[in-house]
Amino acid sequence: MALYSDKVMDHFRNPRNVGKMEDADGIGEVGNAKCGDIMRMYIKVEDDIITDVKFITFGCGSAIASSSMATEMIKGMPISEALELSNKAVTEALDGLPAHKLHCSVLAEEAVRAAVKDYYDKNGIAYDPALFADCDCAHEHDHESED
């Protein structure tokens, strides 16, 4: 059996929604110091729907594939549904990841949540802090100075 599924390889070789979004409504950045993967997710929101999403990921093929799949999954979703995106759903949509690469799907989930949290914060939208309690998105980033 191959280490990576055809879907993982496809999303790694042909990632969807790659790039920086200049006019993003929310930006989430998460990283895993252990493996060195860093994901930055950008969302555009209209009427509580994620109308556009982009990402930049520095990391391994599984991290890139997880980012790409997550963007495909949340595009067009209401924010409330995007917040429910789980790493398990990303992994299943990719037809699986090796056990030692499952953290990549966790980062994708956290990047989505971090972007939504940033959107809420920027727009003064009240939310239950418990929604983000187990997310690595609790710390703030200075997005203006980063490229």
Active site members:
35, 104
Beta bridge partners, 56, equal 40
What DSSP designation does 30 have?
E
| 3-state DSSP assignment of residue 47 | coil
The per-residue b/e assignment along 105-116, b for 16 or more CB within 10 angstroms, e otherwise, is: bbbbbbbbbbbb
How far is Cα 68 from Cα 109, in angstroms, rounded to an integer?
12
